[in-house]
Amino acid sequence: MDKFHGIIIQESLRDPSVLRNVTILGTKQGKDWKLLVVSVPDSRMDSVLELVKSNLRTDEGISYYAHFYSNDRLILVFPDRVFHIKPNKETWKPVVDYGLSMGIPKEQPEFFPNSFEDESF
């Protein structure tokens, strides 16, 4: 079965029940956030993308995003837009520009990991 892995900041979700639709593979705790590494079967990816997109917070002037990847695909999810690109950084400019226009700090749009080989959990 084909699958995607993804990175979601738990606090970015208005409704944490969205997480019932993914398998949590690992977590990383920060000072004010919890990063979740998740897995989603390819067959459920479209519905999970829509759930995440419709539940990303945009309050307090903060815009959040999540990203999902396989070895040859990278999907970036913002509250009002989804980008399907390649893991190759040369394809990222439209997404980075969009994220910056949404107030995401310049140092954040790294989209890492973005392939199964890059994972370290």
HEC secondary structure over 57-81: CCHHHCCCCEEEECCCCEEEEECCE
Its domain, for residue 93, covers 3-118
Residue 1 has pLDDT above 70, yes or no: no
- Tens digits of residue pLDDT in 49-107: 999 999 999 877 778 999 999 988 999 999 999 999 988 888 888 988 988 888 777 76
Average pLDDT over residues 100-119: 66
Average pLDDT over residues 10-39: 93
Q: How many domains does the chain have?
A: 1
